[in-house]
Amino acid sequence: MSKWRSFVNISLVDFSARLSYNIARTPLLPLFALYLGASPALIGIIVGASTITGIFLKAPSGALSDYIGRKRMLLFGAFLFAIMPFSYVFVTVAWTLIIVRVIHGMATSIYGPVANAVVANIAGKEKGKYLSLFSVIKIGTNALGGLVGGWLLYSLSKGQEYNLGHFRYAYLFCGVLGLIALVIALFLLPKIEPSTEHRRIKDSFSKVFDGLKETAKNLKILMTSSMESFQNMTMGAAMAFLPILVVKEYHLSVLYAGILWSVITGTSVVLKPVMGYLSDRMERWKLISLGMFLCAVSFVGFTLTSNFYALIAVAIFFGAAEAIVTTSTVAYVAEVASDKRLGASLGVFGTIADTGQAFGPIIIGILLTYISYFTSFMIISLFIILWTILYITVQIREKKVKLN
């Protein structure tokens, strides 16, 4: 099978699986938690719960796929994508959403690094190009998911106050999409990676541990992963609290909240192929640094205006920052990783990146218990600016060492 055909097949599987997952997230999830009476701190934990799963599972999942095969891991992830949306229908108490989200988060934790490893193997020397195109699928489902989720809740409630039944019908819709995604995965995955003889799981754990240990010693991977982590911190916080800020503080409709999230992710979709092209042709750390500064400024910008059109402009800059950072980070990690440790390296990268996304909403939720949206967002932005300056300093010093 040709390189492009293989890429199209894994992209179709990825799109169908992630669409159901992302409709279930923003703006549905934080508004559902708020409807059930959750406090800001609890909302942050609920939204971050699925990503916390990734902290513990992405690294071993990626490493394990190096030894038992990618297809097994992808199919298990697709199975979780299919069945978990139905569990939201039975939720009536806010804190139980934590359990649901932890299990649902296992899908992306298992699926994400393995899918990236498949694409990296397909790409060969064109990792920046193919991984940026593949990330367009992921962020594209974020954009479409936010828009569809906001539209669903708005349509079901007919523009009025929503109730428990409206959320249940929305999540049933997500479940149907998840089942369709599983059927597509069963049909297409064998074409991506034909069945071969792989090591048994129980015989692979020692080598999995060795792969993770070796990867954890790679400073380039760790530093680059930390930048993705801090960028993800702002995305996680925005995912949890931007809909609430828009609906409850600015008194705009839930449809507008969905549109804003779609603008953020849609901007990233448009720019990622361009950023991927640039990242293959210039020093990636410079692009990463630029994106992080833009991320910090635009993140706090959401708290400075309640005008919808001004918020659209801020969302465009925030989405552009996401595109600039993420296209360079994953390509750089795939580039410096050894072929036999590719799954492990991308798993470690995913684990560190998920740490930021998980703790972003939790930290903001705790801060909002005591201080305003502006002050809470500003604290995160200032920290990102300081960390980016440190990152630039390390890169310049390392470059001087190589020249000497």
Name the residue ranges covered by the structural domains of the chain: 3-403
CB 391 within 8 A of CB 223: yes
H/E/C letters for each residue in 205-217? HHHHHHHHHHHHC
- Cα 201 versus chain centre, distance: 27
**pLDDT score for 194:** 46
CB 364 within 8 Å of CB 39: no
Residues 6+ apart with CB under 8 A from 50: 101, 102, 104, 105, 108
pLDDT for res 184? 85
Which is nearest to 14 in space by CA: 110, 115, 85, 113? 115
- How far apart CA 65 and CA 123 sit, in angstroms, is 18
Ranges in the chain, pLDDT < 70: 1, 59, 62-63, 66, 128, 190-217, 337-347, 404
What's residue 404's pLDDT?
65
pLDDT at 139: 75
Q: What sign does the dihedral 348-115-185-108 (CA atoms) show?
A: positive
Q: What is the DSSP string of 334-371?
A: HHHS-GGGHHHHHHHHHHHHHHHHHHHHHHHHHHHTTS
What is the topology classification, in CATH, of domain 3-403?
A: Growth Hormone; Chain: A; (1.20.1250)
Whole-number pLDDT of residue 97: 96
- Express each pLDDT in 4-30 by its tens digit: 888 888 888 888 888 999 999 888 999
pLDDT of residue 4: 82
The one-letter amino acid at 164: L
CA–CA separation, 192 and 70 (whole Å): 10
pTM (2 decimals)?
Answer: 0.76
Residue type, 193: E
Cα separation, 27 vs 128, in Å, equals 31
Place of tokens 């129980």: 202
Amino acid at 59: A
> How many whole angstroms separate alpha carbon 57 and alpha carbon 93?
27
Count of H helices and E strands in the chain?
14, 0
